[in-house]
Amino acid sequence: MELAKITMRGQITIPVEIRKKLGVKDGDKVVFLEENGRIIMGNAAMVALREAQAAFVGEAERMGLKTEQDVVDMVKEVRREVWDERHARND
């Protein structure tokens, strides 16, 4: 168990071992989440990444992407459409 003291301004220093476990360093942001009456602190970037991953669950299947080559082909198609759109405006 690690302890931290709260200053008069409501600030704390996160102990080194906790920072290592969270994977945070100077300038990183942490997030506080409430789950089942408990407050959980986490690495804000990792929490955002997990939420984004969860939001995309099933999207590849919905779009018919079954292989890595399907993804590569889709990226090429989107790039081609963007290229055509940008150059069509310049004509």
Q: Tell me if 20 sits within 8 A of 28, measured CB to CB.
A: no
**What residues does each domain of the chain span?**
1-57, 61-91
Q: Which of 18, 11, 26 is nearest to 42 (CA)?
A: 18
3-state secondary structure 27-73: CCCEEEEEECCEEEEEEHHHHHHHHHHHHCCCHHHHCCCCCHHHHHH
> What is residue 9's DSSP assignment?
T
Q: What is the mean pLDDT of the chain?
A: 92
The per-residue pLDDT for 90 is 62
Give domain 1-57's CATH architecture. Ribbon (2.10)
Indicate whether 61 pLDDT > 80: yes
Indicate whether 73 pLDDT > 90: yes
Alpha-carbon distance of 17 to 55, in angstroms, equals 31
- Global pTM exceeds 0.75: no
pLDDT band at 88 (very low <50, low <70, confident <90, very high): confident
Q: Which residue has the higher pLDDT, 76 or 88?
A: 76
Helix/strand/coil for 22: helix
